[in-house]
């Protein structure tokens, strides 16, 4: 009896998740260091250059950033909420096509769309050439219209980022909102009344979450605002470091930008208050109502315009430029850049998925607040702009180089390892959230049964749960790959010397007024992102739809 008790005790001790919890805490701490470095550095004593930046440049950075956030968020909210309602609740020609096509603008990075529209509307662009041919001598006012304006940048952001609002809002309306919306119709509410008084309040969590993602992307952007000459916090960080060599000012601007992000998130949480948004009943979509006549035409137009302007126009223009310049641009150097991009993105995807598995599985085994909090701390990087993370990594790598190499020798700064680490910090949440959801779908029974039988958690994960998570892991890793391929500000700051990716090459050529030459690189990035987005959307959305 005593021998059996001792054996059972040893098996129980072996199955405890101490190792997993420790690994999760260590990984979360490492991922949080670059983010925590910024506020610590911002609170230190200021250098001489900071007073000049704070007095002359900071107000412009803050004002332009807030204008872009407000305008882009409003456009994305209007387009995303409107198209989600039309696709989920209405029947009109082309509805099934628009259901997935409205996701495609996510494949177009905002800075690439900015180059395209600057080229289309520029004095030598196709639109103005056609206008001069059709109305000769009457286009002076139009010809000299300055396209390089902050309003145009805000519209471009709204057109390529609205799917962040569209996707969660459509999913909510098609699932949990069905019984509530049907009840409102039965009680005699008209369609417009249902939309304003029931649909929008019910979809508020999805709308708020989508808009928050849009705002994070707007704040993170560097390529579009730089090309259009709009000074923001991100361009200020680049200017402080690259032009002036002033890391102190870059750190302080990064700290203020983190504060702006935090304030935006807190305002949303405060505005929500204690309200809860729960749709009663089983998950089921509402029966769509048919749009007729002019309303059907308006519904098609409202969905077609953002798809055309956010995806098809940029892709077609880039395709036309690529056909003209590809023979000169696509060479051995281009192949090398594609290999750099795909290699870094693939490594970042593998590392991020591995870390996400450790964090999610530790959270599954150990339900303490410490482990749960560690997983949330690890996700902080996704809410922080890429330029801020890059400055944090840069600060740490310079400090380590001084400690390890005596100051002059660079060991980590300007290496692929630092760049890869920054990618993982920035996009670990993209891998973690799907993996966590996949483990929740499997349920805890298999893990608990294995622990009761004395099987080590690692063996349970490898032999039982990992095969069930294969599809989720592939999807999570692929999403990280696409995000890394599109990332620009972080790559520009941390890339090794004479090291280019497709994104950085497209940016360099466009800023050198070689927009047509940048098209092959931009088109390859968009093609990869489009393929993955379309595949994942169709795969994850392959369930049968009621009433369609």
pLDDT for residue 155 = 94
Residue 332 has pLDDT above 50, yes or no: yes
pLDDT for residue 11 = 45
pLDDT band at 190 (very low <50, low <70, confident <90, very high): low
Residue bearing tokens 């395709």: 319
Tokens, residue 145 = 């219209």
Residue 188 has pLDDT above 60, yes or no: no
Tally Cβ neighbours within 10 Å of residue 386: 27
Q: Tell me which fold the domain 17-46+330-511 belongs to.
A: MetI-like fold (1.10.3720)
Tokens, residue 108 = 């177009």
Terminus-to-terminus CA distance in the chain, angstroms? Answer: 65
Measured at the alpha carbon of residue 200, what is the angle toward residues 72 and 538, in degrees to the nearest 5?
75
In whole angstroms, give the CA distance from residue 476 to residue 474: 6
Residue 72 has pLDDT above 90, yes or no: yes
pLDDT for residue 286 = 59
Q: What is the CATH number of domain 53-324?
A: 1.10.3720.10
Tokens, residue 328 = 């000169």
Average pLDDT over residues 399-421: 74
Residue 308 has pLDDT above 90, yes or no: yes
Average pLDDT over residues 65-93: 89
pLDDT for residue 454 = 66
Residue 9 has pLDDT above 70, yes or no: no
User: Considering only 170-184, 236-250, 267-281, which range has the smallest mean pLDDT?
Assistant: 267-281
pLDDT for residue 198 = 59
Q: What percent of the chain has pLDDT over 70?
A: 76
pLDDT for residue 277 = 47
pLDDT for residue 395 = 82
pLDDT for residue 544 = 40
Tokens, residue 465 = 């749960």
In whole angstroms, give the CA distance from residue 197 to residue 189: 9
Range with top average pLDDT, 115-129, 275-289, 349-363 = 349-363
CA distances from 278 to 89, 517, 545 (A): 19, 51, 22
Helix (H) or strand (E) holding 513: none
DSSP β-bridge partners for residue 91: 290
Range with top average pLDDT, 164-178, 231-245, 300-314 = 300-314
In whole angstroms, give the CA distance from residue 327 to residue 325: 6
pLDDT for residue 443 = 66
pLDDT for residue 161 = 92
Q: What percent of the chain has pLDDT over 90?
A: 13
pLDDT for residue 159 = 94
User: Considering only 42-46, 174-178, 466-470, 472-476, which range has the smallest mean pLDDT?
Assistant: 174-178
Residue 2 has pLDDT above 70, yes or no: no
Q: Which residue has the higher pLDDT, 348 or 30?
A: 348
Helix (H) or strand (E) holding 263: helix 247-272
Measured at the alpha carbon of residue 154, what is the angle toward residues 57 and 56, in degrees to the nearest 5?
5
The string of DSSP letters for 348-395 reads HHHHHHHHHHHHHHHHHH--SHHHHHHHHHHGGGGGS-HHHHHHHHHH
Tally Cβ neighbours within 10 Å of residue 443: 9
Q: Which residue has the higher pLDDT, 312 or 415?
A: 312
Q: In whole numbers, what is the pLDDT of the chain averaged over residues?
A: 78
Tally Cβ neighbours within 10 Å of residue 127: 14
Helix (H) or strand (E) holding 309: none
Can you give the pTM of this predicted structure? 0.82
CA distances from 173 to 89, 103, 276, 319 (A): 8, 16, 16, 36
- The 10s digit of each residue's pLDDT in 525-537 is 999 888 877 777 6
Intervals of CATH 1.10.3720.10 along the chain: 17-46+330-511, 53-324
User: Considering only 109-123, 194-208, 313-327, which range has the smallest mean pLDDT?
Assistant: 194-208
The string of DSSP letters for 166-235 reads HHHHHHHHHTTTHHHHHHHHHTT--HHHHIIIIIHHHTHHHHHHHHHHHHHHHHH--HHHHHTT---HHH
Give every CB contact of residue 460 below 8 A, 6+ residues apart in sequence: 446, 447, 450, 451
Average pLDDT over residues 71-95: 88
Question: 289: helix, coil or strand?
Answer: strand
- The 10s digit of each residue's pLDDT in 350-370 is 999 999 888 888 887 776 777
Tally Cβ neighbours within 10 Å of residue 200: 14
Buried b (16+ CB within 10 A) or exposed e, 214-228: bbbbbbbbbbbbbbb
E strand segments, 98-174: none
Average pLDDT over residues 256-267: 79
pLDDT band at 374 (very low <50, low <70, confident <90, very high): confident
Measured at the alpha carbon of residue 231, what is the angle toward residues 260 and 105, in degrees to the nearest 5?
75
- The 10s digit of each residue's pLDDT in 450-504 is 666 666 766 767 666 777 777 778 878 888 888 898 888 888 888 888 888 888 8
């Amino acid at each position: 009896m005593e021998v059996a008790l001792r054996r059972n005790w040893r098996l129980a001790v072996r199955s405890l998740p101490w190792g997993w919890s420790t690994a999760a805490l260590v990984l979360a701490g490492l991922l949080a260091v670059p983010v925590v470095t910024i506020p610590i550095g911002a609170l230190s004593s200021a250098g001489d250059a900071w007073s000049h930046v704070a007095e002359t440049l900071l107000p412009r950075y803050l004002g332009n950033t807030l204008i872009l956030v407000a305008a882009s968020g409003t456009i994305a909210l209007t387009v995303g909420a409107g198209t989600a309602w039309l696709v989920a609740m209405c029947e009109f020609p082309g509805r099934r096509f628009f259901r997935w096509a409205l996701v495609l603008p996510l494949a177009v990075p905002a800075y690439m769309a900015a180059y395209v529209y600057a080229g289309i509307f520029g004095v030598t662009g196709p639109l103005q050439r056609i206008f001069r041919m059709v109305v000769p001598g009457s286009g002076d006012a139009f010809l000299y219209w300055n396209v390089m304006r902050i309003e145009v940048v805000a519209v471009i952001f709204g057109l390529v980022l609205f799917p962040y609002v569209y996707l969660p809002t459509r999913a909510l309306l098609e699932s949990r909102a069905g019984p509530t919306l049907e009840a409102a119709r039965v009680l005699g509410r008209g369609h417009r009344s249902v939309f304003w008084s029931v649909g929008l309040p019910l979809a508020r969590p999805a709308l708020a979450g989508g808009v928050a993602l849009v705002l994070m992307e707007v704040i993170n952007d560097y390529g579009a605002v730089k090309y259009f000459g709009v000074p923001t916090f991100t361009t200020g960080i680049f200017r402080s470091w690259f032009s002036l060599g002033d890391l102190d000012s870059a750190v302080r601007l990064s700290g203020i930008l983190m504060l702006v992000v935090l304030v935006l998130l807190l305002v949303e949480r405060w505005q929500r208050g204690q309200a809860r948004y729960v749709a009663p009943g089983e998950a089921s979509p509402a029966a769509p109502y048919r749009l007729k006549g002019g309303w059907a035409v308006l519904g098609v137009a409202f969905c077609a315009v953002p798809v055309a302007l956010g995806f098809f126009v940029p892709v077609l223009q880039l395709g036309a430029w690529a056909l003209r310049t590809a023979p000169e641009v696509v060479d051995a150097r281009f192949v090398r850049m594609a290999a750099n991009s795909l290699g870094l993105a693939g490594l970042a995807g593998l590392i991020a998925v591995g870390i996400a598995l450790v964090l999610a599985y530790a959270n599954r085994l150990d339900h303490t607040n410490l482990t749960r909090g560690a997983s949330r701390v690890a996700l902080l990087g996704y809410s922080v702009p890429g330029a801020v993370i890059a400055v944090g990594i840069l600060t740490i790598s310079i400090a380590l180089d001084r400690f390890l190499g005596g100051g002059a020798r660079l060991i980590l700064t300007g290496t692929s390892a630092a760049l890869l680490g920054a990618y993982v910090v920035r996009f670990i949440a993209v891998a973690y959230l799907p993996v966590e959801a996949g483990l929740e779908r499997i349920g805890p029974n298999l893990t608990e049964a294995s622990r009761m039988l004395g099987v080590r958690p690692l063996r349970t994960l490898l032999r039982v749960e990992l095969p069930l998570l294969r599809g989720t892991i592939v999807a999570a890793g692929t999403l990280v790959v696409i995000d890394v391929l599109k990332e620009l500000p972080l790559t520009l700051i941390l890339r090794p010397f004479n090291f280019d990716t497709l994104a950085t090459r497209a940016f360099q050529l466009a800023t050198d007024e070689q927009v047509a030459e940048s098209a092959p690189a931009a088109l390859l990035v968009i093609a990869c992102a489009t393929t993955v987005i379309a595949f994942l959307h169709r795969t994850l959305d392959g369930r049968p739809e009621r009433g369609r």
